[in-house]
Chain A
């Protein structure tokens, strides 16, 4: 099968790969580049576990072809902690017991990150809306919503 080159920035570092045309970004990240933080729960755009940030937008990597990401700036949960210090969202997910099996967690954190980047002081409704494309089977959504609200408060306190 024909291979095509792709080149993009992943969590700040340059990546280049030859992939089979038609490979999803999810499979390219996981199987080729070795970033397994985005998860495949459905491979059909319904669960949100594969969520990543492409050029500042929340995207489902299972529905994104890797070859359309040339030159893009891609962020995943694996790149969120800086110098071993957890991002406030990661801290809040820990403290608020917002993970159980953890399979939805990287996708949830990506969705929440895009929200907080745009809306630093979200309302509860904003959070619910932002997470509405992400399914969690274990935790129940309440601790996750609380975690995002706690992280938002922590962020605004740091900024103040």
Chain B
């Protein structure tokens, strides 16, 4: 790796001695000797195994639940339903005042996606828990479901989530997050060309090698130690405290060792119910997703649809950009209202455009709830934006890299969401990329700078 310090030598202090030097990872010795302790490496005598009964329907009313046969199954210690959960309706981001609470720990009267947790079975062995789970009888009345975001937004679409009352997240700005900058219609009127394209992505599963799970051990004084592979320790602690109506001082979370996360382990799903199981039985509890659950049940990256309309001049300047983004939250919010909001701030891309209009919707459908994954709200947007940039360059017959130099943001430029640009390095990155990829651009672009005015 080559470290180039010369670019900003005159403006930025640089005491970087470590970058570009290999340094051993602190956790690797544990990994190569098999000594690293993942949550599932904790084993306690008398530990119970938790298995979930899950909805086979995308959308259904629950008429009744009969757990009597399951309770009689040999090895079963306890069966939990919604009424056992002290604060059953929650939402993760309530901790930062992003409500309403819209998701049930265990389904209560309704299921909104195929795979939703309905009943938890605790048994002496995994096998007994699995067999007993198959004996729980749930009587469902199947309801019409909606899987497509645009269908979900149409009047008369089945209502996915009553806690919202409509199939989109209601921001304080209304039905979507909005960015308004300049006059986008005037920009289009002035443009030499207009290009409108639509981009779509499917949900993506993180597929960590270690599946989601936790092991909970009851301690003295009604305290519980939860060994977990969560990526969001304090979010999980605080949400567990709310769901269980238990002070945080009763909960001791041990974690930080994650067998692959990629954002897939930031939801608060397995810990509260496992702690509840430990509390109600007085026994240690292990709740580990099977590989099938990891792939089908854990939140994926949201599906997105992004419509971009750009006005561009023959000389390469983009003069107007209008973006409508749709994020498929699935049946519940989890982190998706935040993801959609991030998209709104991000969509102009790292380009300075004088007239911008952005609407991003967080939409509810009867699909698996989506959540965080590596740059969620931004990654798919970047795919769409950069494909759009290539198409625009082709439209006006310009080199795609030179086209990006013309539009690149530079220090001092006002961004559409009204943050002045600071510390930009896009131009310098592109200059290096041009050299590294042997993709030459005109000398005037190689002389540009992110921070030197006029250069």
Contact = CB atoms under 8 A, between A and B. Distances in A.
A77 B38 CA distance: 15
B260 interface: yes
A133 interface: no
A77 B28 contact: no
Interface in B289-326: 290-291
B260 A109 contact: no
A103 B32 contact: no
A99 B28 contact: yes
B43 interface: yes
A103 B210 contact: yes
Interface in A65-112: 76-78, 80-81, 86, 89-90, 93-94, 97, 99-106, 109
Most buried by B among A76, A100, A136: A100
A75 B29 CA distance: 19
B33 interface: yes
Contacts of A94: 24, 28-29, 32
Nearest to B206: A137
A121 B93 CA distance: 54
Contact of B31 (A20, A99, A135): A99
Contact of B34 (A44, A106, A138): A106
Contacts of A136: 209
A137 B291 CA distance: 14
A43 to B, nearest CB: 7
Contacts of A100: 260
Main secondary structure of the interface of A (DSSP, over half): loop
A58 interface: no
A43 B33 contact: no
B258 interface: yes
B42 to A, nearest CB: 9
A101 B260 contact: yes
B209 A49 contact: yes
A12 to B, nearest CB: 15
Most buried by A among B262, B290, B291: B291
Contacts, number: 102
Contact of B32 (A20, A35, A105): A105
A39 interface: yes
Main secondary structure of the interface of B (DSSP, over half): loop
Interface string B255-275: 000111110000000000000
A121 B40 CA distance: 36
Contact of B36 (A40, A46, A76, A102): A102
Given A39-B38, A135-B209, A137-B208, A99 B33 contact: no
Interface string B30-52: 11111111101101000000000
A105 B38 CA distance: 13
A76 B30 CA distance: 14
A101 B211 contact: no
A90 B25 contact: no
Contacts of A99: 25, 27-28, 31-32
A10 interface: no
A39 B33 contact: no
A146 interface: no
Given A99-B25, A138-B260, A105 B40 contact: no
A30 interface: yes
A117 interface: no
Nearest to B43: A31
Contact of B258 (A93, A101, A106): A101
Q: Which 10 A-B pairs have the closest CB atoms?
A: A37-B34, A102-B31, A103-B259, A36-B41, A90-B32, A42-B291, A77-B34, A99-B31, A78-B34, A103-B209
Interface of A: 20, 30-31, 34-44, 46-47, 49, 76-78, 80-81, 86, 89-90, 93-94, 97, 99-106, 109, 135-138
